[in-house]
Structure 1
């Protein structure tokens, strides 16, 4: 006689066993969920629902690429969405993805005129290696949760683009080409959580005459990405300069931002940039 665990416990085990909802694990996660959906009919609805949690858009240099994307979004995800999961015959319908990645590392600035597809307040919009132009923001691009990985803007600046976000609650900036002070003064009043990861600190700008009042801000974390030190070496002058720079950063940030209930953290790490970013996303609950 065969024994099985309760279905709820089996699904919990599968949830932990699934590859994380992260860009580098995307294909492994999809393959895992497809295999699980075919393993037993009890798992089919659970696995197929999670297959809608990710959507990967890779631009190819074709004249009708954006039209093809819009057709794919409309056919696969739909534009009408409510917060309830609609299961029809065990298949999730009309769901927006939890994470929407736009990776422009292959074709440079080809995504300049991309209008972001269906996102909800629960969707994490993840932009990677993108040169962002004004055209991107002509549509309804006003996310609640945004991750910018090594992005830059030609016109306008990233600061000017942030000023257009009126609903942003969570922001992760990883090695963006903009001065720190400029970005802090552009944070919207809706912001609640900020994570900034940089290899250097650029605070050469003059502090603003009027600080940015962010009454909803709960946490602000700056992570300085350092190269791995020699474990046998003695503390050097550069280590002292790191401490001085972080102290200067703390003073600048907390004089630029007025946030009565915010917890400010200034950290150093010798982890790889990829691991540091993964830790930041996990801390914010943006990646399982």
Structure 2
């Protein structure tokens, strides 16, 4: 390699480094770490991975055990039983509970994503008097414990005649969420404002700019919001305990609580049915994360970096 080629390569490398964001230009080179440090990091990461996945591995193992061996704390069952996965569908309307949960989570995640994005767009794009204090008030609502608003919200839904239905579990998300508004606002602030000005010059109105320009550009943040809310709605137990009365309207967490009362603390002690139902209802969340993992990581990495 000639000196000219070497100088050109160095200039190209310097230009590529200068094009990176400021927080990435001074990132240490991982390839220069000593071997003992790499081994130590690998051991620590492997140890923490085992700690975090052990409860789920134990749960899966227990679902294949007979009644008397559920709590023997052995990863590999001595007696391998598949009957638990047949009985669980017979003992409870698990399919109906899963359908109710999917319906609630999809509606809740869609509603909170759209509504929060609209509010976040208003706080990031428009300039108006009192915008800062008003946004501070929105963030201050996150400091209110859920117990403070639990009774008033219940009275509202009771007056509307919606207690005992699935509506209170998702309709509240039509008004947005302070956490998601903050998350999406930070992402909107990182978008070049020149794009919006160019769209306005082309004749787009404010709604068109939001729907056709801003929304497609913040797709990773929207996916993160939907995943967060999907997980929160899927595992939400408090709201179903408050609003649901009939087993036909139970969601998965409320149904598992009913199964726990019946088979765990009700005198039957069929814990193998409970752990099997828990495995079945946990798998969808694992599948969802793997399908959206790339968008999830991208959204977390880019949200909050203001350009």
TM-score (norm 2): 0.21
Greater share of strand: 1
Structure number, greater radius of gyration:
2
Larger helix share, 1 or 2? 2
RCO comparison, higher one (Cα < 8 Å, 6+): 2
Structure 1-normalised TM-score? 0.22
